[in-house]
Amino acid sequence: MPRWYTLNEAEGDVVWAAATRHVHVVELAAPPAAVWSALTANDALVSWSPLITCVEWSTPRPFGVGTIREVTLGPGLVSLRERFYRWEEGKRMTFSVDAATRPLFTMFGEDLRLDETFDGTRLTWTFAYTGAPAVRPALKLGAPLTGRLMGGIANGIRKVVEPKGVDR
């Protein structure tokens, strides 16, 4: 059984005060209901991101504030225990990572917002984190790569929500 390291809460404005933020805006040719369904599916993330190898929802449906989910990146690279503190059904979800299996962060949170557009949905996905003191220099140096990797996760949702042949 892996050791879990507790992180500081990322609730409220704390997530916006994180040392590093990556904001990805993804225009999708799919209605908000389809995007929301993909984000809350049992195979959310693993169905479109090769970086995510496991997602387990610990809370029974219907999901809402207080929902807990564990996400594993890579073949056991790191697991994150996420707690959703904002849940606006079909529109927005925000979570704080309460614990991780590696001491990489002191705070980590994500905010996902869906806005209906003329031809689909605008997904604004914000990743925000503050690194643990021992890894802050490496995280700062690697921030551009981390941003691209997180952007790949955000953009990857196209695979499951857009009709084949849509070019954006």
What pTM was estimated for this model as a whole? Answer: 0.93
Domain membership flag for residue 166:
no
Over pLDDT 70: what percentage of the chain? 96
Element (H, E) at 136: helix 136-141
Rounded to 5, what percent of the chain is helix, strand, coil?
A: 25, 40, 35
168 lies in a domain?
no
Which amino acid, residue 122?
R
CB count in 10 Å sphere of residue 17: 12
How far apart, in whole angstroms, are the C-alpha atoms of residue 140 and residue 20?
Answer: 8
Per-residue pLDDT for 2 more than 90?
A: no
Query: pLDDT tens for residues 30-57?
Result: 999 999 999 999 999 999 999 999 999 9
Distance of CA 102 to the CA centre of its chain: 17
Q: Looking at the domain assignment, is residue 146 inside a domain?
A: yes
What is the pLDDT at residue 16? 74
Structural domain boundaries, residue 83: 5-161
**Which residues are bridge partners to 57 per DSSP?**
69
What digits encode the pLDDT tens for the residues 148-168? 999 999 999 999 999 876 665
- Name the domain count of the chain: 1
For residue 17, what is the domain's CATH number? 3.30.530.20
User: Residue 167 falls within a domain, yes or no?
Assistant: no
pLDDT in tens, 73-123: 998 899 999 999 999 999 999 999 999 999 999 999 999 999 999 999 999
CA distance 51 to 80: 13
Burial class (CB within 10 angstroms; exposed 0-12, middle 13-18, buried 19+) of 143 = middle
